[in-house]
Structure 1
Amino acid sequence: MYDRRDLVRVHLAAQERGFGGYRPDSSAYNAALRAHYTAMLDGLQRLFGLRLHEDAVDSLTHRVRFRLFSSTADSFFALRTPWSGFLEAGLLIRKIEEAGAEGERVMAASRRIDALTAESRESHLEMLDALVAMMLGDRAELTFSTADLRAIGVDDTEPNTTDHPLYEG
């Protein structure tokens, strides 16, 4: 079953900005995943009767709420840790750990930053969900099934990971 939280998550994932399982090593898989999220977003928006876009409704209330929604999404995407830019940090971690007490301080602070970043992401998702609930009004508690999506021509099957060029299954 898909609810408004899924609408939020699919909206975020469709933007291909570091959320949704994209892989840095596969543009083909990422293109398929983005197409999947875009189709899902379109389908869920149609089912909920809500377009997550500033100009979707000629209502000042909707535009104002969507601006906050958009700003919150941008803030969500901006969240990162000091380790975010490293694809492989094994050597760096080993060198920091070899630094003794100061290395332990770095690693302890890093663990706190990771925890706070995860907590902040959850708070962002909570805020986005609440904003969508406001925009949906009396439709906020609706849920939809795979059959509902398929009835409007949307296949909710995610791209197969075996299509990923580096798959070794």
Structure 2
Amino acid sequence: MLVSALYQIIDGAIVGKVLGSAAFAAVNLVMPLVIINFSIADLVGVGSSVPIAIKLGERDEKTASEIFSSACLLIVGLGTILGGVLFFSAEHLVRLMGADEEIVAMSAQYLRIYSVCSPVTTIMFAVDNYLRICGRVKYSMFLNILLSFVSAGLEIVFLLVFKMGIEGASLSTCIGLLLCV
């Protein structure tokens, strides 16, 4: 969580400095919706980790594997559904949050790019739980640190080199998550 919070600060600083305060506001406006996406993956990941850990403790790897596979399918399915909802209702959702038209446009762009990647990015948050129950705590921590550096690096390249705007900010986060799965 600490690494994720630090990345959010770095992300905000990059977006704010390169794209300006309106882009900073746009990204922060949709962050609760992005966090809902993460939390659904975490909900399934944490919930399924307990029976998986019990089955692994009982040396029943077959059942543990079945639970893991079912949970991954559920996470991808929920990520797909939520991604679709976020994609098609992006403008409406940010308007409900009180954004003006400039912020609505940027927030919707950011959210739509993120939502397309949702089915895969949600897996990263569940994988983090599964790594910990398998005793790979250091690997989990390494993966989160790597994710932060990759995403921040891509964001700098996309915003400063390719001048991609708010789309580059969203895409850098998505690609970072995809590479770390």
TM-score for the superposition, normalised by structure 1: 0.35
Between structures 1 and 2, the one with greater helix share: 2
Q: Larger relative CO (CA 8 A, sep 6+): 1 or 2?
A: 1
- Who wins on radius of gyration, i.e. which is larger? 1
TM-score for the superposition, normalised by structure 2: 0.34
